[in-house]
Structure 1
Amino acid sequence: MSQQHQSPIMQYFSYDHLPQHLLYTSKPICDLAKQMDEALPPSAEKSAGLRKMLEAKDCFVRASLN
């Protein structure tokens, strides 16, 4: 894995503030986003992929509210 700075979007994957039942939904997506952020070089495609992962995480967390 490369040693580069974290992408700014990564701040929005945090889950520590969530209640336990939502943490179980959010954490696996955060873990995968971190892995991709560390493994891939900066690019427009990486940014787009992380943005789509964030959108998916938000959807999954909202689905867990019901």
Structure 2
Amino acid sequence: MSERHPATNHLLSQFAYGHLPEHLMNISRMASGLAVQMIEQLDDGPELTAGLRKLLEAKDCFVRQAVIDHRSSEAAR
């Protein structure tokens, strides 16, 4: 990937998922893939930054729901 604006690089780094347990990694991987696709298609700019930030917020929500779901399924055992 070519040289990108520091904000783009920073936001992309927040989509890392290798440190997560597998049940969370799969959720995070999907959002990361979309972030990479957008960065490949779009130039740096305020709307890309805003979109990545909102996608990051959405990813965090999805991961939190996956944590809740996992805890619920563990408690049901």
In the superposition, the TM-score normalised over structure 1's length comes to 0.90
1:60 maps to: 62
| Structure 1 unmatched runs, 5+ | none
- Structure 1 segments, 4+ long, off by >3 Å, are none
Q: What amino acid sits opposite 2:41 in the alignment?
A: A
1:21 maps onto 2:19 in alignment = no
Relative contact order, higher structure (CA 8 A, sep 6+): 1
Q: What amino acid sits opposite 2:2 in the alignment?
A: Q
Structure number with bigger Rg:
2
In the superposition, the TM-score normalised over structure 2's length comes to 0.78
Q: How many residues in Structure 1 have an aligned counterpart in Structure 2?
A: 64
| Structure 2 unmatched runs, 5+ | 69-77
